Amino acid sequence: MKSGKALLGLSITFLPVSPAIITSAQSLVEVYSLKPRDAIHIATALAAGCNCIVSDDTDFDAVKARIPRLPLKKA
């Protein structure tokens, strides 16, 4: 609950997941063996024109040639 409230307090934009995003995500699952949820994140980021994804999830390294992963800084 605490992390959910923290997420809602951030100044971020939530993007809709369209049928085109799901189709792209399915291709990412097939090509890179990503988990479906990870593939949706990557497909959405690519569609939005993002140049990196910020995450400590190393599963995203499978697509680093298309969109690099930027790890979170540890304090």
pLDDT digits (tens, 9 = 90+) for 66-75: 999 999 876 4
Q: Is residue 7 part of a domain?
A: no
Q: Is residue 49 part of a domain?
A: yes
Q: Is residue 75 part of a domain?
A: no
Report residue 8's pLDDT band, with 50, 70 and 90 as the boundaries: confident
Q: Is the pLDDT of residue 3 over 70?
A: yes
- For the stretch 9-40, what's the b/e string if a residue is b when 16 or more beta carbons lie within 10 angstroms of its beta carbon? eeeeeeeeeeeebeebbeebbeebebeeebbb
Q: Is residue 38 part of a domain?
A: yes
Domain count, the chain: 1
Question: pTM for the whole thing?
Answer: 0.83
Q: Which domain holds residue 38?
A: 16-70
Q: Is residue 56 part of a domain?
A: yes
